[in-house]
Structure 1
Amino acid sequence: MKFTMFKKETNDKKYHENPYRAVNFQRDKFGNLLCPNGRRFRFKCKRPVYRNQYGRTEEFYECESCEGCQHKSECCPKASGNRTIRMNEELTTIHQEVISNLESIQGALLRMNRSIQAEGTFGILKWDKSYKRLFRRGEKNVILELTLISCGYNIYKYHNKKQRKELAA
C-alpha cells in the first residue's frame, strides 16, 4: 500500500532531490550525518514517538554549529539556533522498499487492480443508489448503517445474478 507522502516522494523531483532534507544528507566515515555545508550532526537522544501505539522511536540529531552558515535560510529558515532533525532509519528503509515494490511492473498491476475493485462497489453505491453520506452518529450507529448498506448491496447483487440466470434458462 502507498504511504502518506508516496505521490510527492515519487512525482515531485524538486522535493525528492532537495539537498536540505535529512534523508538526503551524506554520512562521514563514522556514520554522522553531514549537512550540505559539511557540518556534522551529532546524535542527541532516541525517544518514542508521542502517542504511537506501535512503539516507534525517533532519533534526534543536532547540528554542531549553524552560525555563519550560508545555507541557513534554505536549510532551516524557522530555527533560531542550531538545526535539529528527527529521523527514523527503519521507517526510511521501509519507505524505500515500498517505493521499489510499487514502481515495479507487478506493483503497478496490483495497484491498478486494487483501485478498480474498490471503486466499483463505492461507485455503484454513490451514483446508482444515490448514497452520498452517513446519516447516523456514533461508532455503533455508523457500523450499523454500513452493515445495512452492505447487506442491501449484497441482496442487490444476488437479485441481479438470479435474474440473469432466469433469462439465460
Structure 2
Amino acid sequence: NRPVYDPADGGHLRIEMRALPAGPSCADMTANTAFLLGLTLAQAERDLTGYAFAEAYQNFYRAAREGLEAKMTWPGLDGEFEAADLVLRLLPEARAALLAAGVTPHDADTALDVVAQRTRLRRTGAVWQRETLARFGGDRERLVRRYRELALSGLPVHLWE
C-alpha cells in the first residue's frame, strides 16, 4: 500500500492497495478484494504486536513460490498451516467483518464463494496458465488469446477450461 497525492481537479489524497493481483477475471478481482478487505477489517482491532514482520515476509515469499500449498503462519494461531486450509479457515471471519461493515449477505457470499471454490479446487490463475500452456504444447500466443477470451467471459478462473 502507498499514499498517492493527485493534484488534478483541486487535488486529493488516496491510499492505493498494492496487495491485490490483477485478474485473471473481474469476478476473481472482486473476490480477492472482498477477502482482503474482510480480513483487514477483522484484524483492525486486534493486537498484532506479537506477530513478527519476519513471519509476514516469509509468508509472502512462500505463497509466491508455492501458491496454495505454501506453509504459513497467522496472527493468533499456533503453528503453520497450508495456505489453502488457512484461506478456508479465515473465510467466515472475512464474511462476518464484511457484514458488520454493511455489505449485504448476498454480495459477501457471492464474492467469497469464488475464493472458497477456487481454493477447494486449487484452481488459481497461475495453475490455469501452467496447465493450459502444457496442454497447448508451449504455444504462448494461443495461451494469451484463450486467457483474454476467458477473462472477458466474466467467469472466475476456477470455472475456466
TM-score when scaled to structure 1?
0.25
Q: Choose 1 or 2 for highest CA Rg.
A: 1
Structure ranking higher in helix proportion: 2
Higher relative contact order (CA 8 A, sep 6+): 2
